[in-house]
Amino acid sequence: MKNLISMRDLTREETLRILELAQEIEGGKTRPDLSGRLAALLFYEPSTRTHFSFDTAMKRLGGQTLSMSGSGSTSVQKGESLADTLKTISMYSDLIVIRSPVEGAARYAAEVVDIPIINAGDGANQHPTQALLDLYSIRKTQGTLEGLSVALVGDLKFGRTAHSLVQALAGFRPTFTFVSPEHLVMPQYILEDLDAAGVTYHHQTTLDGVTPGLDVMYVTRIQRERFADPEEYEQVKDSYVIDREILSDAKPTLRVMHPLPRVKEVSTEVDGTEHAYYFQQARNGVPIRQALLALLLGAAS
Amino acid sequence: MKNLISMRDLTREETLRILELAQEIEGGKTRPDLSGRLAALLFYEPSTRTHFSFDTAMKRLGGQTLSMSGSGSTSVQKGESLADTLKTISMYSDLIVIRSPVEGAARYAAEVVDIPIINAGDGANQHPTQALLDLYSIRKTQGTLEGLSVALVGDLKFGRTAHSLVQALAGFRPTFTFVSPEHLVMPQYILEDLDAAGVTYHHQTTLDGVTPGLDVMYVTRIQRERFADPEEYEQVKDSYVIDREILSDAKPTLRVMHPLPRVKEVSTEVDGTEHAYYFQQARNGVPIRQALLALLLGAAS
Amino acid sequence: MKNLISMRDLTREETLRILELAQEIEGGKTRPDLSGRLAALLFYEPSTRTHFSFDTAMKRLGGQTLSMSGSGSTSVQKGESLADTLKTISMYSDLIVIRSPVEGAARYAAEVVDIPIINAGDGANQHPTQALLDLYSIRKTQGTLEGLSVALVGDLKFGRTAHSLVQALAGFRPTFTFVSPEHLVMPQYILEDLDAAGVTYHHQTTLDGVTPGLDVMYVTRIQRERFADPEEYEQVKDSYVIDREILSDAKPTLRVMHPLPRVKEVSTEVDGTEHAYYFQQARNGVPIRQALLALLLGAAS
């Protein structure tokens, strides 16, 4: 494993090794030493949350960071190619974390530089560290990844975190319920992958009856920009709000997850319940990223 | 002491303990160890000076920081509530320093997260670390906080640092002279507090005769925006400039202080005199903030 | 040596000492310890590359940094003088690296504060750490600085890096070839200096015949803004592109250098050749800056 660009690059064994190492780090069983190591955090598309999470991961293992945030990299303004910028930064640092609005940017980065690259989100394409922390959160709360009943709610067409999670769980005999408006359903290519893998799933447009027997409810934001008709958005928005009532017939072990930021998809009245897990989920991003940084920098194996 | 939101939350004993600890840290008698600790510096309203001061305080004690500066937190842009942003950041860090243009933001932060909060300025309301470094500077230069003669000059109506300082000194039997234009006088509620505490004060609109016997001259900026009539501003501005002439009959131990940045309220010709103390005053912000960080992170008591 | 403002402040011995120390640091023979030291990186004009390079240099020697990037220093917005800002920041840090669009800003900084100042570029004037890393790169690749044949290509009128390099090499018996359009030739005052020093040089407007016998080809960017007539720019731009063909009759030891960012002055087809040295040149900025930081902070001599 030289880079982390896409979940599809990881074997099942590599994925499980990352989760295990994250658990060892979180539990204090191992503490990879990144002192003297320098990671460049290049956020061409700002993201306080993901930026802070990587920054925390490095610094809590003794490492240091170089940070760039903003669409206007000064070198880009001067007409420099992305390849040149990355090659230069690879002269200063030991690893590059890159977030870009451009799909494929991280893969390209891995081709032009010699140091490890972590994809922290490339447009609508991949955000593999989010998928890994989602898996980690599921395993931590359910005790296993095998045979779980998982609902995905919200924008399933454009939501990259939903796509990555479905792909990542597919090998663990899940049962999926997809809850979304008709025009925001899970893309056909993902459904075909699930069919090929023999995964059970079904789709519904409302939250009716989704809760009983469910282990994980994974909620994503529905963005206004996805609707041509603002009125339709207003209707739809209110139909996919998770509140206490919807959770009234849930198993005690059901956990509600959300990649954050949330707007109103999960009512704040859920925050105080045993089902709420989104903030701990965010916290889980730190050991996952620590595990990845340690593996890619050769400080763990 | 779990947070520092307002000077009013501090007992006299707590205030004195902070000053004492700052002195011990500055003098090298104690060095709290913040290695492995992470403070998030959230500056929704940028402030290079205060930001650098906290950053320095953490790093010089071996700690690390996460930094966010700018009105446009990316999460806010995505519609996230301040509560959610803060809860998430509390998952990554051990303490949050927050500066916000919104009054009450720091108090609110302390209510929604479990880690310590330091208010680094919330609009026109409070800026308690400034008040503490002012007290520290006064005690350091005068040898005591008790029974001093202190003039406050400039915008006493809107200047939050002037308000905090007056409140903080009130318990130490001061004599105050308030020097300001008529429409920028000290607010009534503060004068009532002083009356209740039996503090001697008087007000005047010019600097005439203010210097003799004075221990501390605390100068604040008069902002153009406070005047409806630009001409009035021009007149007033020039009436409150501290220069060598005004200081000609001062005690040798008089110190001129200013929260900075200054524009022209203190003439640069004062910089070279024994009375100038504003840059050392800024420097005093470091041990004060180190003491606070150490106390709130449990690295000192 | 208290500051580094201009190459002209350095004696030949000081220059050679810096190069030597950089080599010792890069080779691992010495490692100055900057732990507990804090450098403020003030970039009034953003520059990802130079900023990262200084940040890397500090952090890889165990030091820490305070970072400010952007034209809008908040203190400047409030009407504070540059002198006051610098004096205040000197209260928090041990050394200031300053980049400013204003010529003379670094010299001025050195006059108003007591801590060391490093000029990281002041407008079209000086960028001495670039000149030092250029010298370092030349010595490292050629084994010596003495008696080299060096071509400078591109905008020789406004290119501050070209000026600094020519001045810095003048004492080492070089032979210069200046290649530029007629209206972007090397300034007269520099040619007079070279005459006074007995340096051999000649000028030509094309790259014809420049390669044979050459040791270093130093290429700089030609900026569109320098041309009144856009068509003339388009013509000229294409006349100064270094490609494989131009290098076909070069010595194997010829190295092509460029301060970066490049736009099209050096074809990417050169990147894979033995002649390409611009990315390693950027890397050389780290030991050079480490040597300077160590010397100015008293961690090396």
For the stretch B160-201, pLDDT in tens is: 899 999 999 999 999 999 999 988 999 999 999 999 999 999
Residue range B71-78: mean pLDDT, rounded? 65
- β-partners of residue C242 are C266
Instruction: Show the domain range for C177.
Output: 129-282
How much is the average pLDDT of B110-135?
94
pLDDT at C229: 83
Contact B261 C40 (CB under 8 A): no
Q: Which helix (H) or strand (E) holds C136?
A: helix C128-142
**Averaged pLDDT of chain C:** 93
Of these residues, B2, B8, B49, B264, which one is catalytic?
Answer: B49
pLDDT band, residue A137 (cuts 50/70/90): very high
Calculate the average pLDDT of chain A: 93
Q: What share of chain A is helix, strand, coil (3-state, %, to 5)?
A: 40, 15, 40
Q: Which residues contact C216 (CB under 8 A, 6 or more apart)?
A: C138, C141, C142, C148, C149, C150, C151, C254, C255, C257
Q: Is residue C2 part of a domain?
A: no
Active-site annotation holder among A37, A99, A139, A221: A99
Give the residue from A96, A65, A66 showing the smallest Cα distance to A82: A96
Structure confidence by residue, pLDDT tens digits, A81-118: 999 999 999 999 999 999 999 999 999 999 999 999 99
Per DSSP, the residues of chain B read ---B--GGGS-HHHHHHHHHHHHHHHTTS-----TT-EEEEEESS--HHHHHHHHHHHHHTT-EEEEEESS--HHHHTT--HHHHHHHHHTT-SEEEEEESSTTHHHHHHHH-SS-EEEEEETTS--HHHHHHHHHHHHHHHS-STT-EEEEES-TTT-HHHHHHHHHHGGG--EEEEE--GGGPPPHHHHHHHHHTT-EEEEESS-TT-STT-SEEEE-PPPGGG-SSHHHHHHHHHHT-B-TTTTTT--TT-EEE--S--SSSB-GGGTTSTTB-HHHHHHHHHHHHHHHHHHHTTS--
pLDDT in tens, B75-119: 666 778 999 999 999 999 999 999 999 999 999 999 999 999 999
Residues A130-156, mean pLDDT to the nearest whole number? 97
Minimal CA separation from B287 to chain A, in Å: 23
CA nearest to C115, candidates C92, C152, C146, C90: C90
pLDDT in tens, A183-196: 899 999 999 999 99
**C155-191: buried (b, 16+ CB within 10 Å) or exposed (e) per residue?**
bbbbbbbbbbbbbbbbebebbbbbbbbeebbbeeebb
Residues of B with CB under 8 A from a CB of C: 46-49, 52-53, 55-56, 59-60, 67, 221, 260-263, 268, 279-280, 282-283, 286
Q: Which chains touch B (3 or more CB pairs under 8 A)?
A: A, C
Q: How far apart are CA C156 and CA B282, in angstroms?
A: 44
What's the CA gap between A42 and A68, in Å, rounded? 5
User: Residues A12, A49, A224, A264: which is the catalytic one?
Assistant: A49
Residue B60 sits at the vertex; the CA angle it makes with B56 and B66, to the nearest 5 degrees, is 55
pLDDT band at C44 (very low <50, low <70, confident <90, very high): very high
- Which of C51, C52, C281 to probe the A interface (max A CBs under 10 A)? C52
Interface of A with B (CB under 8 A): 46-49, 52-53, 55-56, 59-60, 221, 260-263, 268, 279-280, 282-283, 286
Quickly count: other Cβ atoms within 10 Å of residue A196's Cβ. 9
Asked whether the predicted pLDDT for residue A151 surpasses 60, the reply is: yes
Chain A residues with CB inside 8 Å of C260's CB? 80, 84, 88
Q: Residue A251 and residue A149: Cα distance in Å, rounded? A: 11
The whole-angstrom separation of Cα C67 and Cα C51 is: 9
What residue of C is the nearest CA neighbor of A82? C261
User: Three-state SS string across A99-154, please?
Assistant: EECCCCHHHHHHHHCCCCEEEEEECCCCCHHHHHHHHHHHHHHHCCCCCCEEEEEC
What is the band of A76 on the pLDDT scale with cuts at 50, 70, 90?
A: low
% of chain A with per-residue pLDDT over 70: 98
Taking CA atoms, what residue in C is nearest to B282?
C88
A228-257 pLDDT, tens digit per residue, is: 888 888 877 778 999 999 999 999 999 999
pLDDT exceeds cutoff 70 at A297: yes
- Residues A141-144: contacts with CB under 8 Å, at least 24 apart: A141/A216, A141/A253, A141/A255, A141/A277, A142/A215, A142/A216, A142/A253, A142/A255
Residue C255's DSSP bridge partners are C216
Minimum-distance CB partner of A38 among C56, C260, C280: C56
Are the Cβ atoms of A260 and B92 closer than 8 angstroms?
Answer: no
pLDDT at B74: 64
CA atoms of C115 and B279, how far apart (whole Å)? 14
Q: What is the pLDDT of residue C67?
A: 95
Say if CB B98 and CB B44 are below 8 A apart: yes
Count of domains forming chain A: 2
Q: Which of B59, B260, B279 sits opposite C38 (nearest CB)?
A: B59
Neighbours of chain A (3+ CB pairs under 8 A): B, C
pLDDT for the residue numbered A152 = 98
User: Across the interface, do A49 and B93 touch by the CB < 8 Å criterion?
Assistant: no
- Under an 8 A CB cutoff, do A78 and C283 touch? no
With the CA atoms of B134, B139, B142 and B147 taken in that order, what torsion angle do they form, in degrees rounded to the nearest 10?
100
Whether A134 and A197 map to the same domain: the answer is yes
Q: Is residue A231 part of a domain?
A: yes
Q: What is the pLDDT of residue A229?
A: 83
Query: Which of A147, A166, A146, A162 lies closest to A265, judged by CA?
Result: A162
Are B180 and B41 members of one domain?
no
User: The tokens of C112 are what?
Assistant: 């108003």
Q: Do A209 and A219 lie in a common domain?
A: yes
| Inter-chain CB proximity A88 and C46 less than 8 Å | no
Inspect the interface and report whether the beta carbons of B48 and C73 lie closer than 8 Å.
yes
User: Which pLDDT score is estimated for B143?
Assistant: 97
pLDDT of residue A3: 97
Look up B258 and say whether it is catalytic.
Answer: no
Poorest-confidence range of A12-26, A217-231, B198-212, C244-258?
Answer: A217-231
| Rounded average pLDDT over A36-47 | 94
Interface contact B87-A283, CB threshold 8 A: no
Instruction: Give the mean pLDDT of C226-249.
Output: 87
Whether omega for the bond prior to residue B259 falls within 30 degrees of 0, making it cis, is: no
- Tell which residue, C81, C74, C111, has the closest CA to residue C96: C111
Model pLDDT, residue B76: 66
Confidence at residue C241, expressed as pLDDT on a 0 to 100 scale: 94
If one compares B264 and C147, the residue with the highest pLDDT of the two is C147
B15, B65, B85, B99: the active-site residue: B99
- C-alpha dihedral over A91, A95, A99, A105, to 10 degrees? 70
Q: Are residues C274 and C190 in the same domain?
A: yes
Share of chain C above pLDDT 70, in %: 98
Out of A56, A221, A260, closest to residue B93 by CB: A56
Does residue C112 sit in the same domain as residue C178? no
Question: Using CB atoms, which residue from C47, C261, C279 is nearest to A91?
Answer: C279
Q: Do B36 and A263 touch (CB under 8 A)?
A: no
Residue B52: both structure tokens together? 């650098």
> Quick check: is A194 in a domain?
yes
Task: Tell me what pLDDT residue B228 has.
Answer: 80
Tell me the pLDDT tens digit for each residue of C214-231: 999 999 988 877 778 888
Name the closest residue on chain B to residue A280, using Cα atoms: B91
Lowest pLDDT segment from A42-46, A100-104, A163-167, C122-126: C122-126
| One domain for residues A92 and A146 | no
* Cα three-residue angle C134-C210-C257, rounded to 5 degrees: 20
Instruction: Reply yes or no on whether the pLDDT at A274 is more than 60.
Output: yes
Q: Are B156 and B177 in contact (CB under 8 A)?
A: no
CA distance A249 to A212: 6
B52 and B161 in a single domain? The answer is no
A83: which chain C residues are within 8 Å (Cβ-Cβ)? 268
Q: Based on the fold, state whether residues B104 and B220 are members of the same structural domain.
A: no
Asked, for residue B1, whether it belongs to a domain, the answer is no
Same domain, C89 and C46: yes
Residue of C52, C261, C268 with shortest CB distance to A78: C261
Query: What pLDDT is attached to residue C80?
Result: 86
Answer yes or no: do A66 and C52 touch at CB < 8 A: yes
Distance set, CA A121 to CA A138, A225, A287, B217 (Å): 21, 20, 18, 54
Mutate to test the interface with B, among A38, A49, A289 (most CBs of B within 10 A): A49
CB contact under 8 A, B283 and C92: yes
For residue B66, give the nearest of A52, A221, A282 by CB distance: A52
Q: CB-CB: which of A48, A59, A286 is closest to B64?
A: A59
3-class DSSP state of A244: coil
**CA gap B255, B234 in Å, rounded:** 26
CA A12 from chain centre, in angstroms, equals 17
Contacts of A60 in chain B (CB under 8 A): 36, 38
pLDDT at C166: 94
CATH number where C270 lies: 3.40.50.1370
- Per-residue pLDDT at A73 exceeds 60: no
In A247-296, the DSSP E strands lie at 255-257
H or E segment at C231? Answer: helix C230-239
The verdict on C179 and C109 lying in the same domain is no
For residue A1, being part of any structural domain is answered with: no
Alpha-carbon distance C90 to B49, whole Å? 11
Can you tell me the distance from the alpha carbon of A222 to that of C36, in angstroms, rounded to the nearest whole number?
A: 48
> Does B145 map to a domain?
yes
Indicate the burial class of B272 (C-beta count within 10 angstroms; 0-12, 13-18, 19 or more): exposed
In this model, does residue C71 exceed pLDDT 70? no
CB neighbours (10 Å) of residue A244? 13
Higher pLDDT, A126 or B295: B295
All residues of chain B having their beta carbon less than 8 Å from the beta carbon of residue A55 are 66, 92
**Binning pLDDT at 50, 70 and 90, where does residue B276 land?**
very high
User: Above 90 in pLDDT, residue B216?
Assistant: yes
- Please give the positions of C annotated as active site: 49-50, 78, 99, 127
Q: Indicate the SS3 state at residue C242.
A: strand
Q: Within this chain, do residues B135 and B260 fall inside the same structural domain, yes or no? A: yes
| Residue C131 confidence (pLDDT) above 80 | yes
Mean pLDDT for A41-46 is 92
In chain A the first and final C-alpha atoms are separated, in Å, by 10
User: In C, which residues are within 8 Å of B67 by CB distance?
Assistant: 67
Q: Where are the beta strands (DSSP E) in C64-138?
A: 64-69, 95-100, 117-122
Residue C30, pLDDT above cutoff 90: yes
In order, the DSSP letters of B124-190 are TS--HHHHHHHHHHHHHHHS-STT-EEEEES-TTT-HHHHHHHHHHGGG--EEEEE--GGGPPPHHH
Confidence of residue A75 (pLDDT cuts 50, 70, 90): low
Q: Is residue C223 domain-shared with residue C88, that is, in the same domain? A: no
Q: Chain C contacts of A38, Cβ < 8 Å?
A: 56, 59-60
Asked whether residue B301 is domain-assigned, the answer is: no
Q: Is A160 exposed, middle or buried (0-12, 13-18, 19+ CB in 10 A)?
A: buried
Number of C-beta neighbours around residue A12 at 10 A: 10
Report pLDDT for A48.
Answer: 87
